[in-house]
Amino acid sequence: METRQLRYFVAVAETRHFGRAAERLHIAQSPLSQAIRQLESQLGAPLFERTTRRVDLTAAGEALLPEAVRILASLDAARDQVGRVAAGALGRLRVGATGLATYGHLPALVRRLDEELPGLALSFATEMLTPALEAALGEHTIDLAVLRLPVADPALAHHVLARERLVLAVPRASGLVRACPCQGTEKHAHPTPVRLADLADEDFVVYSAPGSVVGDAAARACRAAGFTPRHTHEADQTSIVLALVAAGAGVALLPSSVLAVAVAGVHYVELEDHDPVTTDVALAWRRDDPRPALARALEVLCRPETADPPRETAPA
């Protein structure tokens, strides 16, 4: 039994007319009639009662019709699903992200994918630092990462999403939190900017992972201001860094996306240095990943606001 024969059978069964069925199928009536006779021979039973005026289903035809419709619908659904997978509109991606990207960038990326590729299923691994994200991409445990540049692995490509300045997270009771002079403003509600040089005697909470992009940027900024930061506590997650700051264990230099994270006991203070140190947030992926779902996701996520085509950037 062939799929073609089932389609011919359903067309005749629904029109109850060989001529109209042939027109629907865009074929001549003769090959249609021949295909139905072959199907009846294979099944060992007549499917239609033919008269000069009408065509009716036999009991065997009545039994076959719902099964034939179900089989054809299933085949059409399978063909559609395979086509969507091949086109990248259907599939699954494993996405890794740094702690702050989880709050500042990931929601917007997920929203864009949900709007344009609703058939794409996503799973997430967050609170990972850039070195761990690079390793996870190399080990094929994630497919796409939101991380901070630079990336060291030449097998990875990337696309810059944003450039962020550093801000200072301080405990609520810190002397660095000076209320702005605005009349009627509650004390500590709007801390005024500080200079990095003013932090020389402060204790710092830093990321514990070697090669942390944010940690390196913070240390570089402090050295440029004339001092080496004194590390008293270390943590491997941004949430723990902020918890330690809230506990009064020290201050922390973090990317500006941290401003989206409200933590009781923590104030964010802008830096007034003329040459702020910045970090770049980027998407990263394996250059040799052939899956259509990743290609379609990158097409959506790397698309600029203008009509210019998305560009792929080589790792630094």
The residue that leads in pLDDT, 169 or 127, is 169
Taking only the tens place, the pLDDT of each residue in 264-284 is 999 999 998 767 788 999 999
Average pLDDT of the segment spanning 30-59: 90
The residue that leads in pLDDT, 225 or 187, is 225
User: Does residue 195 contact residue 272 with C-beta atoms inside 8 Å?
Assistant: yes
> Which domains does the chain carry?
3-86 (1.10.10.10), 91-162+280-301 (3.40.190.10), 163-278 (3.40.190.10)
Average pLDDT of the segment spanning 152-164: 94
pLDDT computed for residue 179 by the predictor: 53
Q: What residues form DSSP beta bridges with 271? A: 194
pLDDT computed for residue 182 by the predictor: 45
pTM of the model: 0.67
pLDDT computed for residue 240 by the predictor: 92
Taking only the tens place, the pLDDT of each residue in 292-302 is 999 999 999 99
pLDDT computed for residue 175 by the predictor: 72
CA 54 to chain centre: 57
Residues 6+ apart with CB under 8 A from 97: 105, 106, 124, 125, 126, 128, 133, 145, 146, 147
Q: For residue 81, is it left (φ>0), alpha (ψ between -120 and 50) or beta?
A: alpha
What's the pLDDT band for 119 if we cut at 50, 70, 90? confident
Taking only the tens place, the pLDDT of each residue in 193-248 is 889 998 999 999 998 878 788 888 899 899 989 999 998 899 988 889 999 999 99
pLDDT computed for residue 210 by the predictor: 80
pLDDT over 60 (residue 77)? yes
pLDDT computed for residue 87 by the predictor: 67
pLDDT computed for residue 314 by the predictor: 41
